[in-house]
Amino acid sequence: MKITKCLFPAAGYGTRFLPVTKAMPKEMLPILTKPLIQYGVEEAVEAGMKTMAIITGRGKRAIEDHFDISYELETQIKGTSKEHLLSEIRALITQCTFTYTRQVEMKGLGDAILKGQALIGREPFGVVLADDLCINPDGDGVLKQMIALNEKYRCSVVAIMEVPEDQTYKYGVIEGKEMEDGVYRVTGMVEKPEPDEAPTNLAIIGRYILTPDIFDAIRQTKPGKNGEIQITDALLHLAEKGMVLAYKFKGTRFDCGSVEGYVEATNHLYNLEEEK
Ligand code: G1P
């Protein structure tokens, strides 16, 4: 079955960016002139997805307005030298359907994904955490790479990268058997382990391809790290049946959930633009 839907959990508060995130969703923070979530949507479109299912929360309306036509603005700039500045976002609005539902209580990433079941139905789907910005200027985007693996093996896929051993406490960490270059059959996974408890330094980043049995797995998952329903714990249920792969993606990932990573992404993309 072709994967056409992509879920964007976007209900989080973005406290690390206060005060800017007080009245503005963190997903709308710009990298150059585009908000973070638009990079994620573009990556999903490149991978062949057409329906963007966004899990929002209170104070997130700017996301809906962004993926909509602003008639007043369009009228203002029509025929002027600035009209081209809207071409990319217009193309997305034309090609995609955007659907929304709210996560009413912040009960964790697993819970946010479960809220998306109504928008996804019973089919495999992508997940993008927009504050992980991934680029691969010379090849396929990360989601597209992951879809190729899902088509080959018909199971869930998580994107991973090696991180310094003292950084495992920030990530879901996997353990697995390498079955082809950079592809692991996951045998264990743990959410945000301290370095001495981490099975490896292979950290999950914010890109997933999930099979629809994940929804039942989430329902069976008890609150874990920080008292939240963790997607990592739910995926472990599927991994126990041998149905989760971890994939060392090609490209660069920036942690735009931290000020440092955000600045790094901004500088990197600015330099790429300058070189054009
Ligand atoms: C979430 C996941 C974690 C994953 C990370 C990637 O954590 O729970 O397993 O490694 O995203 O960015 P968060 O960064 O939302 O705390």
- The pLDDT of residue 25 is 97
Beta bridge partners of 184: 178, 246
Dihedral of alpha carbons 114, 192, 30, 12, sign: positive
CA of 28 to the centre of ligand 1 (A): 19
Find out whether the beta carbon of 174 lies less than 6 Å from any atom of ligand 1: no
Q: pTM (2 decimals)? A: 0.96
d(CA 253, CA 132): 6
By alpha-carbon position, which residue is closest to atom 11 of ligand 1?
206
Q: What is the pLDDT of residue 98?
A: 98
Strand partners, 248: 160
Which atom in ligand 1 lies closest to the alpha carbon of residue 108? 8
- Give me the pLDDT at residue 1, please: 78
**CB contact set of 194 (below 8 Å; sequence gap of 6+):** 168, 169
C-alpha–C-alpha distance, residues 130 and 127, integer Å: 9
Low-confidence ranges of the chain (pLDDT < 50): none
Please give the pLDDT value at position 156.
98
Given this model, what pLDDT does residue 190 score?
A: 97
Looking at residue 178, its pLDDT comes to 97
Cα-to-centroid distance, 13 and ligand 1 (Å) = 14
Query: Ligand 1 in contact with 208 (CB < 6 A)?
Result: no
pLDDT at residue number 276: 85
Q: How many CB atoms lie within 10 A of CB 257?
A: 21
Phi and psi angles of residue 245, each rounded to the nearest 5 degrees, phi first: -110, 150
State in Å: Cα 77 to ligand 1 middle: 40
Query: Can you give the length of the chain in residues?
Result: 276
Domain 5-275: top CATH class: alpha beta
For residue 170, how far is its CA from the centre of ligand 1 (angstroms)?
A: 7
